[in-house]
Homo-oligomer: A and B are copies of this chain.
């Protein structure tokens, strides 16, 4: 049996489609009597509005696209988990995409992002995407980018203060009496801005404390995964003079690093203190539990969606702004035992 349409309802209720539409959307005031007639007809027919048709007529889809590098990376999964309810609350469905290896696809931005009018806006969490890539996009698409970025563009940024957070992390290690501190995760190239901000914090903390930096202790990694942390730690421990603390650019990296350290017979934190970044749930249950920088994911999600909605609803071009969510340092076993 075919689905009932708005027109069917109108006929049954003996009113015009216009009135039914009003009732359904709560637009204009409708006489209590007609409202009841309409509502009864709706119930009787089991009428459900066709969202697609509504979208075509209104010109908006009520969907937003959220793009993350990887879905199975805990940090992104947790972020998404936060974004979805907030978006739903704001009346939007969430479409999810993994940017993954798709960076290859030259012309098109990513995945189905090229499809027009399928979503009203987009929240993009870049991994290795330079500013240039971002500006090569359809400027008409409302866009909020996750992660701090210094730029005045036609889109917004939402993130925590990476440099400050990283500085705190390293100061925490210094405060614990550590003097040979390594950093795992640097990415000294255009697409590695996020990593570079952490490195900047690393340097800042040293500068403040008047501590020299052993440049050989800054280890670059292609990504922020466990393997990267494991390999980097491996290299660090082979040194004649291994570090007594490590600042890892993600909890996953920290997890991998700790794994390697422990299996090589080092004690964490006694021999090597380790602090991560992201506060993934995992770090709260691993052994040792992992000290970390905890970004306020709820705030990030809320700010991003709020801002995107503003952008979607605005007729005028909206200037790009930089929004900061909070963060805090959570000391756990991997640094304080």
Contact = CB atoms under 8 A, between A and B. Distances in A.
A83 to B, nearest CB: 9
A93 interface: yes
A118 B97 contact: no
Contacts of A97: 84
A261 to B, nearest CB: 10
A282 interface: yes
Interface residues of A, number: 48
A285 interface: yes
Given A70-B81, A74-B72, A282-B282, A56 B52 contact: yes
A70 to B, nearest CB: 7
Contact of A78 (B72, B81, B116): B72
A131 interface: no
B71 A81 contact: yes
B72 A61 contact: no
A117 B52 contact: yes
A310 interface: no
Contact of A112 (B80, B93, B285): B93
Given A51-B116, A52-B61, A72-B81, A255 B96 contact: no
Contacts of A130: none
Interface in A78-105: 78, 80-81, 84-85, 88, 93-98
A188 interface: no
Nearest to A53: B56
Interface string A285-301: 11100000000000000
Given A78-B72, A81-B72, A116-B50, A285 B263 contact: no
A267 interface: no
Contacts of A152: none
A262 interface: yes
Given A48-B114, A53-B56, A81-B72, A256 B285 contact: yes
A78 B117 CA distance: 29
B285 A287 contact: no
Given A50-B117, A51-B116, A287-B287, A281 B96 contact: no
A302 interface: no
Contact of A77 (B55, B77, B230, B256): B77
Given A72-B81, A81-B72, A262-B287, A49 B282 contact: no
Point out which of A72, A78, A88, A96 has the most chain B C-beta atoms below 10 A from its C-beta.
A72
A337 interface: no
Contacts of A93: 95, 112, 118
B111 A88 contact: yes
Given A52-B56, A56-B56, A96-B96, 9 more contacts: A52-B55, A71-B84, A72-B80, A74-B74, A258-B287, A259-B285, A259-B286, A263-B287, A282-B282
Interface of A: 3, 48-53, 55-56, 61, 63, 70-72, 74, 77-78, 80-81, 84-85, 88, 93-98, 111-112, 114-118, 226, 230, 255-256, 258-259, 262-263, 281-282, 285-287
